Amino acid sequence: METRSIKHGLKFLLVFCCILVMQVLPVQAAEQIAETAIGVEQIFKTEYSVPANLNRSFSYQLKALDEENPMPEGSRDGVYRFQLKDSRKTQIGPIQYEHGGLYEYELRQEVGEKEKGYTYDETIYRVKVYVRNTRDGRLACQLVIENEKGEKTDGAVFRNSYQGSQPKSPSAVKTGDTQTPFFWILILAVTLLIIAVTAGTVIRRRRKDKVGL
Q: 42 with 84: CB under 8 angstroms?
A: yes
Nearest Cα residue to 32 out of 130, 100, 103, 101: 100
Domains of the chain: total:
1
Answer whether residue 1 is part of any domain: no
CA distances from 131 to 127, 128, 142, 144 (A): 13, 10, 6, 11
Give the structural domain span for 51: 33-163
Q: 201 pLDDT band (50/70/90 cuts)?
A: confident
Answer whether residue 206 is part of any domain: no
Flag the least confident range among 23-32, 47-56, 85-94, 138-147: 23-32
Answer whether residue 129 is part of any domain: yes
* pLDDT value of residue 153: 94
pTM for the full model?
0.65
Nearest Cα residue to 109 out of 153, 154, 156: 156
pLDDT tens-digit map of 155-198: 999 999 999 988 776 654 455 555 567 777 888 888 888 888 78
C-alpha dihedral sign at 193, 195, 196, 202: positive
pLDDT at 90 over 60: yes
